[in-house]
Amino acid sequence: MVGLAGVAVVTAACYPFKDDLTRATPALLYVIPVGASAAIGGRWVAVFVAACTTATFSVALILPVGTLRVALPEDALSLVVCLAVALVVGSFVAREADRRRQDEQREGEIASMHEEYRRLVREGSCSPRRPAGSRPWRRSTSGAPPCSERSHTICARRCRPLAR
């Protein structure tokens, strides 16, 4: 919905000046709603909005106005380039939006795991000390003290077990 509204706004803004504008100006402006729709709706929404953008560009701003026909080869090339740029930008924006959502989900999972660990330590269900039967720890090469507060698997100090 946002993408199609953006296409309508760009078309309304450029239509009165269609005779004075180069083909590049509206084509570049049409990329904005494609990027916005990709960030909100994903890749397939961006593809749909890019196709609508290209059709609207052809019908509203390229001669003969009111049809999908294109009179000049340069105008046909403008349409192809507009579609290609919109698809590439839409794909990049959608991919980055997906990555951002995945990172936020992982961050939430890590925070909940950390809270669960802290709750278990408070209840005494989980000992933060070295597990019984494991080798004792020695100081790391950085001079940090041996790990006595947390198990080796979650220690941030890079402790290493003593060699036998």
Whether the pLDDT of residue 160 is over 80: the answer is no
- Output the pLDDT for position 69: 84
CB environment 34-72: b (16+ within 10 A), e (fewer): bbbbbbebbbebbbbbbebbbebbbebbbeeeeeeebee
What is the phi/psi pair of residue 161, to 5°?
-70, 150
Question: How sure is the predictor about 138, in pLDDT bands with cuts at 50, 70 and 90?
Answer: low
Question: How sure is the predictor about 142, in pLDDT bands with cuts at 50, 70 and 90?
Answer: low
- Output the pLDDT for position 162: 46
Quote the pTM value: 0.64
Mean pLDDT, rounded, of the chain:
81
Whether the pLDDT of residue 16 is over 80: the answer is yes
- Output the pLDDT for position 66: 85
Q: What is the pLDDT of residues 26-70, one digit of tens each?
A: 999 999 999 999 999 999 999 999 999 999 999 998 888 888 888
- Output the pLDDT for position 163: 45
